[in-house]
Amino acid sequence: MTMIDVQNVSKWYGEVSALNDVSLEVGPGILGLLGPNGAGKSTLLKLMAGQLRPSLGSVSVLGREYIGDHRLYSSIGLCPEQDALWDEFNGRQFLTCMLRLHGWETRDAQRRCDELLSMFDLVGAQNKRVGGYSKGMRQKLRIAQSFAHNPKVLFLDEPMSGLDASSRSLVADIIRDLGSQGVSIVVSSHILHEVEMLTKEMVVINQGQLRARGNVYEIRELLHDHPLQLEMTVSDPRQLSKALLDCEHVVRIELSDDQKDRLTVFTRRQNQFFEDLPRILKQQDIEIERLHAEDEDMEAVFKYLVH
Chain residues in the site for other proteins (CB under 8 A): 13, 18, 42-43, 46, 49-53, 70-74, 76-78, 80, 82, 84-86, 88-89, 93, 97-98, 100-103, 145
Nearest to 156 by CA among 5, 27, 32: 32
103: phi > 0 → left, psi -120 to 50 → alpha, else beta; which? left
Q: How far is the CB of 212 from other proteins (least distance, A)?
A: 22
The nearer residue to other proteins, 104 or 273, going by C-beta atoms, is 104
Q: How far apart are CA 203 and CA 62, in angstroms?
A: 20
Q: How far apart are CA 12 and CA 112, in angstroms?
A: 40
The nearer residue to other proteins, 10 or 233, going by C-beta atoms, is 10
The nearer residue to other proteins, 102 or 226, going by C-beta atoms, is 102
Asked if 247 and 271 count as a contact pair (C-beta separation under 8 A), the reply is no
Integer CA distances (angstroms), 275 to 134, 233, 242, in order: 41, 18, 17
The nearer residue to other proteins, 157 or 194, going by C-beta atoms, is 157
Integer CA distances (angstroms), 231 to 226, 267, 277, 286, 294, in order: 16, 11, 13, 15, 7
The four Cα atoms 146, 82, 210, 180 give a dihedral, to 10 degrees, of -20
Q: How far is the CB of 125 from other proteins (least distance, A)?
A: 17
Q: How far is the CB of 88 from other proteins (least distance, A)?
A: 4
Q: How far is the CB of 227 from other proteins (least distance, A)?
A: 32
Q: Spell out the SS3 assignment of 116-174.
A: HHHHCCCHHHCCCEHHHCCHHHHHHHHHHHHHCCCCCEEEEECCCCCCCHHHHHHHHHH
Q: What type of residue sits at position 142?
A: R
The nearer residue to other proteins, 82 or 283, going by C-beta atoms, is 82
Q: How far apart are CA 86 and CA 89, in angstroms?
A: 6
The nearer residue to other proteins, 94 or 120, going by C-beta atoms, is 94
Q: How far is the CB of 187 from other proteins (least distance, A)?
A: 17
Q: Which helix (H) or strand (E) holds 65?
A: strand 64-65
Q: How far is the CB of 26 from other proteins (least distance, A)?
A: 18
Residues 6+ apart with CB under 8 A from 70: none
Q: How far is the CB of 50 from other proteins (least distance, A)?
A: 7
The nearer residue to other proteins, 52 or 198, going by C-beta atoms, is 52
The nearer residue to other proteins, 31 or 78, going by C-beta atoms, is 78
Q: How far is the CB of 145 from other proteins (least distance, A)?
A: 7
